[in-house]
Amino acid sequence: MLLATIMQGQGEYPILRLIIWIAFLVVYIYMAQYVYKDAVKRKLNAELWLLIVLVVPIASWIVYFIVRNEKSRNQE
């Protein structure tokens, strides 16, 4: 409840709201960078995966890790 209140901009927690948004942004950028570098290493279409991760973050991370693991199994 407190987190929802903070994220909606209500209450007296502007610094905490800023810290939470910065944390989300850092994770977002890190995951996009990780997926891109990992896709290059595994010879997947890195630019396409980066675009997908930037547009639909959470769902695409899950899909990427599933596709990545299936491709690794097929190569072995």
Tens digits of residue pLDDT in 25-71: 999 999 999 999 999 998 889 999 999 999 998 899 999 989 888 87
- The range of the structural domain enclosing residue 38 comes to 2-75
For 39, phi then psi, to 5°, come to -65, -40
Is residue 6 within 8 Å of 16, Cβ to Cβ?
yes
Lowest mean pLDDT among 2-6, 15-19, 35-39: 2-6
**pLDDT given at position 64:** 92
Per-residue confidence at 15, pLDDT binned at 50, 70, 90?
confident
> How many structural domains does the chain have?
1
- Contacts of 61 by beta carbon, 8 Å cutoff, 6+ apart: 31, 35, 53
Q: What is the pTM of this model?
A: 0.73
